[in-house]
Amino acid sequence: MLYSTSIGLDVHARSISAAAFVFETGEVAQRTFGYDPSAAPTGSF
């Protein structure tokens, strides 16, 4: 089954909030987490 999902990010210096909304089901997922520069991927993409 296909779903249309909208996502949003709210990025600040010390935190990031994310939310996702599935139109068909009305499902909403939210998460807030700290920003850790050392966790950023390194290398070539």
Kindly indicate the confidence band of residue 40, based on its pLDDT and cuts at 50, 70 and 90: low
Position 12 in a domain: yes
Domain that holds residue 22: 5-34
- In angstroms and rounded to an integer, the radius of gyration of the C-alpha atoms of the chain is 14
pTM: 0.63
Q: Is residue 40 part of a domain?
A: no
Domain assignment present for 44: no
39: in domain: no
Residue 15 falls within a domain, yes or no?
Answer: yes
Q: Answer yes or no: is 41 within a domain.
A: no
In the predicted structure, residue 26 carries a pLDDT above the cut 70:
yes
Distance CA 27, CA 5 (A): 9
Could you tell me if residue 30 is inside a domain? yes
Domain count, the chain: 1
Predicted confidence band of residue 41 (pLDDT cuts 50, 70, 90)? low
Residues 11, 34: Cα–Cα separation, whole Å: 10
